[in-house]
Amino acid sequence: MNDNDPKRLSRLTAILTQLQTKRLLTASELANKFSVSSRTIYRDIKALEQAGIPILTEEGKGYKLMDGYRIPPVMFSESEANALITAEQLVLKNKDASFVKDYADAISKIKSVLRNNIKDKANLLSNRLLSGQNANNDRTSNNLSTLQLALTHFNLVKIKYHSHENNQTTERIIEPFAIYTSQENWLLVALCRMRNDYRAFRLDRIESLSVQSQTFEPHKITFEEYFEFCRKKCPPPLT
């Protein structure tokens, strides 16, 4: 294939973006994503290396970018910018204040790299979009961002939690496992050391929390396996 072929150039750029997005990628994963053969991916990786991109190969595991290497900011198409603006309007209605703030900060940085003509259109669309959800903009929690970091760094979290089931407030040490949203509210799935079992905690019922310096071993099951287990057993208990 000609190195100047538009499809290949587009794929090379997309591969580079994928490598910066994920820690490690295999040739088969990239081949499936771009509907090409693994041999084509090998050639693409070689072409990127020859262009001076520091791609490291971990034998039997895949490819990754050298630590600390960053590509210049990507340029968004008008449709991609519109998708981000639309998502922004949905996020602004979310009930977790920390999530709203972090997304607003992120979208501001993204807008700063848009080309002027796309930026003007994106701002126009932003003023013409409205989500009717959570019309009062109620913020019922402010812990999502903190819990996301605790989850990815495997930190124990101490929480004071008000249980709807028995109308009591208890203190617990939990191991964050997964987070999902329901009707604009957020729920944290965690291993509760007091119950020695997984529980689903509503973020708006967490009265206080503190992230501990102590870490825990990563959970062996995936999110999908957890939900499959719950379907067989019963819905995840809401404490």
The CATH number of residue 38's host domain is 1.10.10.10
Please say which residue of 65, 94, 116 terminates a domain: 65
138 within domain boundaries = no
CATH number at residue 172: 2.30.30
pLDDT at 1: 44
The H-or-E segment that residue 162 falls in is strand 155-163
Which has the closest alpha carbon to 190: 157, 164, 149? 157
Number of domains in the chain: 3
pLDDT in the model for residue 88: 82
- Asked if residue 104 and residue 36 are part of one domain, the reply reads no
- Quick one: 160 and 227 in the same domain? yes
Residue 132 lies in a domain: no
- Does residue 108 sit in helix, strand or coil? helix
Region of poorest pLDDT, from 7-16, 70-79, 113-122, 168-177: 70-79
Q: Residue 101: helix, strand or coil by DSSP?
A: helix
> Do 207 and 162 sit in the same domain of this protein?
yes
Q: Which domain holds residue 191?
A: 144-233
Q: Is residue 73 part of a domain?
A: no
Helix axes 27-34, 38-50, angle to 10 degrees: 110
**Residue 117 pLDDT grade (very low, low, confident, very high; cuts 50, 70, 90):** confident
Task: Identify whether 101 is part of a domain.
Answer: yes
Q: Is 1 inside a domain boundary?
A: no
pLDDT digits (tens, 9 = 90+) for 190-232: 999 998 988 889 999 999 999 999 999 998 888 888 888 777 7
65-74, 127-136, 161-170: least confident range: 127-136
